[in-house]
Amino acid sequence: MKTQQKVWLVTGVSGGLGKELAKSIYLSGDIIIGTMRSEKDKMLFEQDFPQRSKAFILDLSDTGKIPVVVEESVKIFGKIDVLVNNAGYGLFGMVEEASEEEVRHQLEVNFLAVWKLTQAVLPIMRQQKSGHIIQLSSRVGISAGVGGGLYAAGKFAIEGLSEALAQEVSAFGIKVTLVEPGPLRTDFFGRSVVFAQKEITDYHAATGNIRERSKQMDGKQPGDPAKVASSILEISRLENPPFRLPFTQATLDTLQQKIISYQQVIDDWKEIAVQVQY
């Protein structure tokens, strides 16, 4: 193994952005460790990346297996330079529609597994005095919309976790980047989205049918996942990578709207906010 080669651990490489990222990493000459959920996907990964690679079947809801994947990866390659917490799925539906079981599973996969993987690689990166943790957030990690509150809850949690983490690990030479894509033209709305089983039709007239709206959006998303993957690879080479990396005009618009909204809150409620101080 060449010393300049980076070792990447990327979750969810069987489709979408994860698959494009695995391609970019492999073509760059780096080592790609990928996780997927099925034997079929593992076989395809091994066919596509026959060298400088390792595949692990991992169900992220089974967080007990996460340290094993990290330990095995280090045994094989000696280090982990970049962790990309990419895998996840979207649970969509009105807040009233979701069941506790649906919400718990969503948070186990989209947040608890991210925390567990991050926690598992940190001792390795601290010992190396280097590393880069790249967290896949979303435009909805900045601002939530109708029907997306359950998905946004996990992404908001990742944003908060990562803001603290970046400050905690900077002294050890470890970098953290939050990737915030808008709609990418992947199979997200095909294989990676589930809707709350319960559907309350009263909401259709008030807010529209989010299930139908999602179908109409599928295949028309403006973001190119291959270009996002290339950009992630590029910023991983930087000495000082960005903490926050938005993708697509939709995310930039969301950031701008959030700034305006917060400024309006300050302007409207500053007097009340400060009058409660001793």
Task: Show which residues are catalytic.
Answer: 137, 151, 155
How far is it, in rounded angstroms, from Cα 105 to Cα 12? Answer: 16
How far is it, in rounded angstroms, from Cα 176 to Cα 272? Answer: 36
Secondary structure of residue 182 in the 3-state scheme:
coil
Largest CA distance in the chain: 66
How far is it, in rounded angstroms, from Cα 110 to Cα 113? Answer: 6
Q: DSSP code of 111?
A: I
Secondary structure of residue 77 in the 3-state scheme:
helix
Instruction: Tell me if 129 sits within 8 A of 172, measured CB to CB.
Output: yes
Q: Find, among 22, 17, 83, the residue nearest to 228 by Cα.
A: 17
Secondary structure of residue 205 in the 3-state scheme:
helix
